[in-house]
Amino acid sequence: MNPPTSPAHPSEAAPPAAQEAPTATGTTTAGAPESPGAAAVAEAEVSVLTSRGVRELKPADAIRPYDFRQSGFLVPSELRRIRQRHEQFVRALAARLEMVLRVQTTVQLEKLQIVGYQKFTENLPSPTHITLFKTDPLKGTGLLVIPPRLGLSLVDRLLGGPGQMPEAGRELSDIETALIDQIALLLISEWCNHWPEMRELRPALTGHENNSRFLQTAPPDTAMLALTLNAGVGDQLEPIQFVFPYATVEPLVRLLTPAGMTAADRAAARSPRLKWNAEFDDMLVPVVVEWQGLKLSAGDITRLKNGDVLILDSRSTAQVQLRLSHVPKFIGRPGTRAGKWAVELTAPVPT
């Protein structure tokens, strides 16, 4: 007779039951594949460190990339003043273009921003018409980008046509480029005229390019001030872009001083202190002293001979002019010192 086996079955079945529990629990814990909604929520949030020093979860689409190399160039107040100045420029430019083209012209300020040189050039379409220019005495080379369709429209208007914008753009010919140069010089000249703090700005065109890949006017990480205008004849608008290296516009930004600054602060902003270059210490400069006030006719000069005496005005002999490298710099009194001729400097020459 066989012994009963029923008590053995519960004890043998217990281990499998105990082994199945962790498996089920593990499937539930690592069950991200079975709950795609929870995974999407987890991926849509990013842990960030806030300004209070606390880590928080933020939506991924609320986080924007930021290039710290471009920080510190323009504070909001400076950017606001520059925008106000360019709004004045846009209004004047629209009136100036209407006078030249003799047709209704629209110019609108779209945006003003700081961008990296490489990022800007990579986003330019091809082909496009790029004019390289300088604004002496400011340093750096600026870019004026005019879409080919708008360029062809302006050329058509300059030649007496209606200024209709073509359906598609193409590279401009040499004759069309020469005509567009007239408009480009007008645009840049008008921009220079809106900086009365620096009246000596002189615009000059230096070249052209139709492919941004060949531009080498600045290093790739250079910060650029990009001004985008929507312009065109009638309601057919295309973007025109003025792009300046930040080093070019930095002196102009400094001149946009707040109204609360003193006159001394404004003068300091306009005339920064110059630093002496030690490389010039041993450079020789010709020094010449001249008397002023004695005039002779050409005939009298031809009759001069040894022993003649010239009568000098005593006031002029006490105020000789000292020239450094042929440039008048000081007024002085002549005399001798240690047996040699000398000049005592009494005042600078007014400039």
pLDDT digit string, tens, across residues 130-182: 999 999 999 899 999 999 999 999 999 999 999 888 888 889 999 999 999 99
Q: Which residue has the higher pLDDT, 36 or 108?
A: 108
Distances (CA, A) of 184 to 151, 159, 202, 225, 268: 10, 16, 14, 18, 34
d(CA 350, CA 206): 37
Q: Which token pair is 16? A: 């499998």
Q: How confident is residue 266, by pLDDT bands cut at 50, 70 and 90?
A: very low
Please say whether the beta carbons of 184 and 231 come within 8 A.
no
Task: Residue 246: count other Cβ atoms within 10 Å of its Cβ.
Answer: 18
273: which residues sit within 8 A by CB, 6+ positions away? none
DSSP for 167-194 reads SS--PPPHHHHHHHHHHHHHHHHHHHHT
Residue 233, phi then psi, degrees to nearest 5: -90, 125
End-to-end distance of the chain based on CA atoms, in angstroms?
134
Q: Which residue has the higher pLDDT, 212 or 39?
A: 212
Element (H, E) at 9: helix 8-29
pLDDT of residue 26: 41
Residue whose tokens read 């005495």: 137
Please name the residue ranges forming H helices in 30-147: 36-43, 76-101, 117-122
d(CA 143, CA 218): 11
With CA atoms as reference, report the closest residue to 97 among 164, 186, 162. Answer: 186
d(CA 93, CA 189): 10
Q: Which token pair is 3? A: 């012994």
d(CA 249, CA 185): 18
Predicted model pTM:
0.56
Secondary structure class of 295 (helix, strand, coil) = coil
79: which residues sit within 8 A by CB, 6+ positions away? 112
Note the pLDDT tens digit of each residue in 2-57: 444 444 444 444 444 444 444 444 444 444 454 555 555 556 888 888 777 788 88
d(CA 335, CA 248): 49
CA dihedral 112, 114, 118, 124 (to 10 degrees): -10
| Identity of the amino acid at 228 | T
- Chain mean position to CA 91: 21
d(CA 33, CA 7): 41
Note the pLDDT tens digit of each residue in 269-320: 444 567 788 878 888 888 888 877 778 888 888 888 998 888 877 777 677 8
With CA atoms as reference, report the closest residue to 179 among 162, 163, 158. Answer: 158
